[in-house]
Amino acid sequence: MPADELSRNGPEIETKSHQPILLGEFCFDIALPELSSASGEPVNLRSQSLEVLRLLADQAGKVVTKDSLIEAVWGETFVTDDSLVQCISDIRRAIGDRDHKMIQTLPRRGYRMNAGRATPLLPTRSMPDLAKRCAIAVLPFTSLSDDREQQFFAEGLSEDLIVRLSMVRSLVVLAAPSNFSFGGDFMRAEGAGTEFGPEYLIKGTVRRSGDMVRVTVHHLNYQSGTVIQSRRYDRHVKDIFEIQDDIASEIITETRVALSEGEVARLAIRRTRSVPAWEFFHQGVLEHIKYTPESNQAARRLYQKALEIDPNYYDAMVADGWALWQEARSSPVVSRTDALSECRGLVERLIARWPDYPDTLHLDAVLLMMEGKHDAAQDRADQARAAGRAYLWGYAIVHIYGGSVKKASELFRQAISTALVVNDDALFCYAHCLTLLGHYKQAIILAEEYRSRVPTTVYGFTLLATAQALDSQAAAAADTITDMREMHPHFTLAMFRRHEPYRDADTLDRIVALLKKAGIPD
């Protein structure tokens, strides 16, 4: 048999230039090619395995077929699939990819090195004036522990790092999506330009075993992909706050920003020194963002455990207030009156102790909105914004439901002009604005994106169906509600009314009529 008939004759892999990428605790330089550990030590791989890794990295985020890989690595030499499978096993073993998440097998298709790409957003935006400020993007840290439940620990570390770095005015701190890696992009508007991006990228991994924890942090130049610094911290879990302080201090040092005396003082303040309380709080956050009545109650139980350990834990108090507010707004089993009353009591305690904190003022603003005091709510929201960093979604909905939809829309545009990543809540909020302003087709695009990101929440369905119905797509709205009722068969318009505190009753009545026609029962 001729030699050319022995080859797979698969499609050639088009190579392209890439910057180094991170694979868990490891860095792979495609140009060399070389795989190295967090400490910079080269990791030995067989030549065929290294070439397979290079080809997958060069097409990161895309499916590469088995035939293409075999053709590119072995050429005219006939080999079976077992040779490729062995190379994939070598790579996974080298980078600790036990769950096959970094090198993913797609049955009957091939393999993919995961490098997430965010979805483009509609509004055009430009980079802010950062001439005197340094922009840093922080990715959620990845847990490498065998226990999947420990992901909260890794994400909690990165969330706290974002909060601490945000205290430095010379830094613009951006939260990046968890699926971002080199080869992917931040969410951006069309025409934002190639210069759109932070100067630095922070990525980390956490491996916890018993009472010990290993935190590996990579500090990279965003544009070039060069690893500026990689540090590994092997400590006892009780030292987790010292690890956070060290990471923040080293990042500040590497970016060469100068700290004022006030910033030094703020960085010295800790919301809690109790590791168990911190752990309960971050477990609660992960439950909270599932956005279901059951997960909301689970979050409250965890926040309250944190507060039993540390009654002065401000973040846990604020989070419990948000969970109470959510119960008042959405829970089918909790008394709205009782939840509002309990939330008001908690907010008053926060105001008494921390009257000028943005999070305190912000929670008070959305509570005033739910109490029907829209003018006071909008004033309070403005105070929260003036006081410092505030939660955009809650700030915007105060103005949306209070009737200042154009102001809310403009606030959103201003906020995303400095954000490289648009989170789920902000996406929902802007789609809501566009719906009320009559930009239905744009609203539908964003509402569909929100539903794909947060598929379990009933209000993703109602937002999409409302925009579809207003755009004269009655059949599409009915289909959306049919899908919703398969997941939420007991949802009613009475529950929707409870959730939507519009100042203008006519607006609510109009939306309710559309949803009723689409198939939601009274």
Report yes or no on 375 lying in a domain: no
With 0-12 CB in 10 A as exposed, 13-18 as middle and 19+ as buried, what is 146? exposed
pTM over the 0.75 mark: no
What was the pLDDT predicted at 270? 56
What was the pLDDT predicted at 331? 81
Report yes or no on 290 lying in a domain: no
Report yes or no on 85 lying in a domain: yes
Tokens of 376: 């006071």
Report yes or no on 293 lying in a domain: no
What was the pLDDT predicted at 5? 33
What was the pLDDT predicted at 408? 83
Rounded to an integer, what is the distance from CA 278 to the centroid of its chain?
A: 20
Report yes or no on 373 lying in a domain: no
State the residue range of the domain holding 74: 3-113
Residues 6+ apart with CB under 8 A from 296: 287, 288, 323, 326, 327, 330, 331
151 plus 109 within the same structural domain: no
263 plus 166 within the same structural domain: yes
**Which of the residues in the chain have pLDDT under 50?**
1-18, 115-132, 177-196
What was the pLDDT predicted at 17? 41
What was the pLDDT predicted at 304? 94
83 plus 205 within the same structural domain: no
The DSSP code for 116 is: B
141 plus 108 within the same structural domain: no
Helix (H, G, I), strand (E, B) or coil at 180: strand
What was the pLDDT predicted at 59? 82
Phi-psi category of 333—alpha, beta or left, where left has phi over 0 and alpha has psi -120 to 50?
alpha
237 plus 195 within the same structural domain: yes
245 plus 209 within the same structural domain: yes
34 plus 149 within the same structural domain: no
The string of DSSP codes covering 31-64 is TTTEEE-TTS-B----HHHHHHHHHHHHTTTSEE
Report yes or no on 288 lying in a domain: no
What was the pLDDT predicted at 2? 37
Tokens of 10: 């698969």
Q: Which residue, of 251, 268, 285, is where some domain finishes?
A: 268
The string of DSSP codes covering 331-375 is -SSS-HHHHHHHHHHHHHHHHHH-TT-HHHHHHHHHHHHHTT-HH
151 plus 108 within the same structural domain: no
Whichever domain contains 441, its CATH number is: 1.25.40.10
Whichever domain contains 12, its CATH number is: 1.10.10.10
If one counts the domains in the chain, the total is: 3
What was the pLDDT predicted at 345? 94
d(CA 393, CA 459): 15
Q: Which residue, of 238, 268, 298, is where some domain finishes?
A: 268
d(CA 480, CA 57): 38
108 plus 157 within the same structural domain: no
Q: Render pLDDT for 449-493 as a digit per residue (tens, 0 to 9).
A: 888 878 878 889 999 999 999 999 999 999 999 999 998 899 999
Report yes or no on 405 lying in a domain: no
